[in-house]
Structure 1
Amino acid sequence: MPAKSGAQQKAAGAALAAKRGDIKKSELRGASRSMEKSMSESELEKMASTKRKGKPEHKTEH
């Protein structure tokens, strides 16, 4: 599943780093913390690798 915003992509990257052991899980906050718990490593890879060009920093809901 591709990221819908730059913020979502960054959160997925942080969650992926924690899942791989590059950073401590205790350093995660907010969305990245819940992503790390609820998503698999492959799902996080897909979301974190999404290109940010043309995406808003934050997704607004309509």
Structure 2
Amino acid sequence: MPAKSKAQQKAAGAALAAKRGDAPESALKGASKSMEQSMSERQLEDLAATPRKGKPEHADDRKS
């Protein structure tokens, strides 16, 4: 599942680093904190590996 925005991709990267032990879990906030707890390492890898080029900074949450 590719990331829908740059912010989602960055949050997944931070959560992945914490899950692997490269960054402290206490440094996580917001979405990255919940991602780290609820997603597997493989799911986080998929989101974090999404290229940022052409992605909006934040996804549009409004549904038409």
What root-mean-square deviation, in Å, do the aligned CA atoms of Structure 1 and Structure 2 show? 0.6
Structure 2: where are the runs of 5+ without partners?
A: none
Distance 1:35 1:50 in 2: 16
Distance 1:46 1:31 in 2: 16
Amino acid aligned to 1:57 = E
Matched residues, number: 62
Amino acid aligned to 2:41 = E
Distance 2:61 2:28 in 1: 24
Distance 1:21 1:32 in 2: 14
Distance 1:19 1:5 in 2: 21
Give 1:51 deviation, angstroms.
0.5
Amino acid aligned to 1:55 = K
Secondary structure in 1 matching 2:34: helix
TM-score, normalised via structure 2 length: 0.94
Structure 1: where are the runs of 5+ without partners?
A: none
